[in-house]
Amino acid sequence: MAKSFHAQWSSRMTFILAATGSAVGLGNIWRFSYLVGDSGGAAFVLVYLLCIALVGLPILVSEWMIGRRGQKNPINSLAELARKNGSSQAWILVGVSGVLAAFLILSFYSVIGGWSLSYTLSSLTGDFSGQDAATIEGLFGALLESPGMLMLWHTIFMALVLGIVAFGVNQGLEKAVRLLMPALVVLLVVLVIYGMFSGHFGEALAFMFAPDMSAFTGDVVLAAMGQAFFTLSLGMGIMISYGSYLGQEVKLLGAARTVIILDTVIALLAGLAIFPIVFANGLDPSEGPGLIFVTLPIAFGGMTAGWLLGLIFFLLLTFAALTSAISLLEPVVEFLEERSPLSRVPATVVASFAIWGLGVAALLSFNLWDFTVLFGLNIFDLLDTVTAKILLPLTGLGAVLFAGWVLSRDSVAKELGLSGGAATAWNVAARFIAPIGVILVFVFNLVG
Ligand code: TRP
């Protein structure tokens, strides 16, 4: 991202690439598949898709709209629009909670980014070639048990993010998204085809798409909603920030559709690639955060030249993780830059160091600090839960309420190019469906 707040995207395409670069990341492949496995499959997938369409889309558009109208960073955009519209300054809490969420998410995100880096190297050195499922599970177990290795990879990942943000080379990365994102899709398709022939594809399809009514528990519904926020990078202000560089000519609904379709297709492909391997090898779908790291290497290990495909896959995954991680660090840096005497590079170093430290606590949850701290969760799970299930939905709720109730109806309809029934539909979605959806999920979780 450019440093000045009034810069603009050079084209609609650059904007979409940046938003997609933020949205598509570990969330689509690592987090989506592990949650589907952990939350009983199809019930999760169904609620997730509903949340993307009914909650995610209105919130994504609301965040962009707030940014484009405010033309500033998320906190200042909200402050200014609230003042202009005669509303309370308390709305800036939405921006503050977003910065906090970014800080917390990046700490554990970087740990998983480190796993992806580590698996890139293991593919290159042929560690998976010809190995059976048990050996490959063992390799992952060994990584988890080694605080030193986890710390090394987490440090390398965080250093890469720091370097990219500090030196502002993000622009170049956004261009690379154009090439590497389709490459990731192609590779996932190859894995899905592999699953069709050598996995238990039918079983995987049923697991992902044939819900069993008893599986719709409060927990599953909350997890699915949290994932919808996480995967679209909502509730953190980053989309507000991206909107602030947006010219008036860009159509928000069309852009949102493009980003959402890409993001969702990648997640579903990842699921279709992973579950046939899970069932074919008798692995446990509820294995947890390690799911892709024990399943995909089994597929790569069994293919001719699988090491090369594995290498490319983990490289692309690491790249997708980096472009998302940058979008997580950026708001924290902007916040520090604005509210402390630090200039950009020192602000980036300070933010990264603090995030890195919290990440170390997160990675120790897999070994030395394997104890529960709160609500039966260890530090890693707690960070993930507090952000995805609480902070992101609440912040996103704030953004859509702001767009629905504080911004004037007419100006919004005009901005979105809607009239008549379509304008009413937007209004109902932003004022009622999305907010009530979020609130209902919270209530359902408390009682279910
Ligand atoms: N959406 C990214 C992913 O799926 C992660 C991410 C980047 C994110 N920025 C975010 C999540 C902001 C929540 C909020 O991997």
More confident residue, 427 or 11: 427
Candidate ranges 3-7, 163-167, 333-337, 357-361; pick with highest mean pLDDT: 357-361
Return the residue whose CA atom lies nearest to atom 6 of ligand 1. 233
CB of 323 closer than 8 Å to CB of 91:
no
Helices within 303-369 (DSSP H only): 306-339, 344-364
Question: Which atom of ligand 1 sits closest to the CA of residue 234?
Answer: 14
Domain ranges of the chain: 12-447
* Ligand 1 mutation target, pool 324, 329, 334, most atoms within 8 A of CB: 324
Identify the pLDDT of residue 6.
55
Identify the pLDDT of residue 321.
97
Structure confidence by residue, pLDDT tens digits, 62-71: 999 999 999 8
DSSP character string of 215-273: G--HHHHHHHHHHHHHHTT-SSSHHHHHHTT--TTS-HHHHHHHHHHHHHHHHHHHHHH
Identify the pLDDT of residue 72.
85
Q: How far apart are CA 80 and CA 71, in angstroms?
A: 9
* Predicted confidence (pLDDT) at residue 443 exceeds the cutoff of 90: no
One-letter amino acid identity for 412? V
Beta-bridge mates of residue 377? 374
Structure confidence by residue, pLDDT tens digits, 77-107: 999 999 999 999 999 999 899 999 999 999 9
Confidence of residue 2 (pLDDT cuts 50, 70, 90): very low
* Ligand 1 mutation target, pool 328, 386, 387, 391, most atoms within 8 A of CB: 328
Structure confidence by residue, pLDDT tens digits, 247-298: 888 999 999 999 999 999 999 999 999 999 999 988 999 999 999 999 999 9
CA of 102 from ligand 1 middle (Å) equals: 9
Structure confidence by residue, pLDDT tens digits, 369-420: 988 888 889 999 999 999 999 999 999 999 999 999 999 999 999 999 999 9
DSSP character string of 152-194: HHHHHHHHHHHHHHHTT-HHHHHHHHHHHHHHHHHHHHHHHHH
Phi then psi for residue 374, to 5 deg, are -155, 145
Identify the pLDDT of residue 217.
92
End-to-end alpha carbon distance in the chain: 42
CATH for the 12-447 domain, from 1.10.4160, 3.40.50, 2.60.40, 1.10.1740? 1.10.4160
Identify the pLDDT of residue 3.
42
Residues with CB under 6 A from ligand 1: 22-23, 25-28, 105, 230-231, 233, 236, 238, 324, 327-328, 392
CA of 130 from ligand 1 middle (Å) equals: 34
Question: Which atom of ligand 1 sits closest to the CA of residue 23?
Answer: 1
Q: pTM of the entire structure?
A: 0.94
